Amino acid sequence: MKKTEVVIIAAIAESNRVIGKNGKLPWRIPQDSKRFQDITLGYPVIMGRKTWEYDIEKCPLVKRFNIVISSCPEQESVSEHCRSYPFELAFVNSIQEALKNAEDREKAFIVGGASIYSQSLNLADTLELTLVEGSFEGDTFFPNYEHLIGSQFKLVSRETHPGFRYETYRRICYSHTRTYSDPK
C-alpha cells in the first residue's frame, strides 16, 4: 500500500514564529482560511486537544476526518450546534495512533497546535506554510524549522500576496529513521 503523505499546514508570523494567542490565531486572513479549507477538504486533519477545544471550539471541520490527540481522549464533546454537520471524528492518545487512523488515506494534515507541530516535524513529508508579515504577540510558537531547509526540506513553491506568502517545502531526506517517539 502507498504510504500516507504527512503534511504540516501552519500559518506562522515570519518574524518570531508565533502561531497562537489565548487559544486562537493572532490574525484573521480570510484568503488563507479559504486556502486551508480547500487544501484539507476530504482528508484527515490531526490536531491537539487545545486546538480542538479553544481554536475550533469543539466544532469538527466539515467533510474531513477530525482526529484529536489527548492524553485523556473523550468521545462525546462536540458542540451542540455542530452536531448536524457531516464530519468524522476520532479521539486518540498519541500521534502514532492518529497516523494509524489515517493510514488508508492518500494524505493526512497536521493542523496544530504548537505541541503537535513540534512532535511531527520529523515525520512530515511536506510543509504547507503561510508566512505572515509583521510581528505578532502570542503564547504559542511553531518549532524552529529554518535550519532544516536545504538539508531536510527544499522549497518547491512560493506565492506572494500583500501581507503574507505561501511556501511549500518537500522532504529531501530524513535526519534519522522515521519513527515516532512520544515525549510525554
Where do contacts with ligand NAP occur on this chain (CB under 6 A)?
A: 10-11, 19-20, 23-25, 47-51, 55, 69-72, 93-95, 111-116, 119, 140, 182, 184
DSSP, residue by residue, 20-51: EBTTB-S---HHHHHHHHHHHTTSEEEEEHHI
- Residue 175 CB, nearest approach to ligand NAP (Å): 20
Q: Which CB atom, from 4 or from 40, has the smaller least distance to ligand NAP?
A: 40
- Looking up cell 520529523 gives 122
Q: Which CB atom, from 25 or from 61, has the smaller least distance to ligand NAP?
A: 25
Q: Which CB atom, from 27 or from 87, has the smaller least distance to ligand NAP?
A: 27
Listed in order, strand segments (DSSP E) in 36-182 are 44-48, 65-69, 88-92, 107-110, 126-132, 140-141, 153-161, 164-171
- Residue 21 CB, nearest approach to ligand NAP (Å): 6
Ranges of H-type helices in 55-148: 95-101, 114-120
How many other C-beta atoms lie within 10 A of the C-beta of residue 35? 17
- Residue 106 CB, nearest approach to ligand NAP (Å): 22
- Residue 1 CB, nearest approach to ligand NAP (Å): 25
Q: Which CB atom, from 35 or from 105, has the smaller least distance to ligand NAP?
A: 35
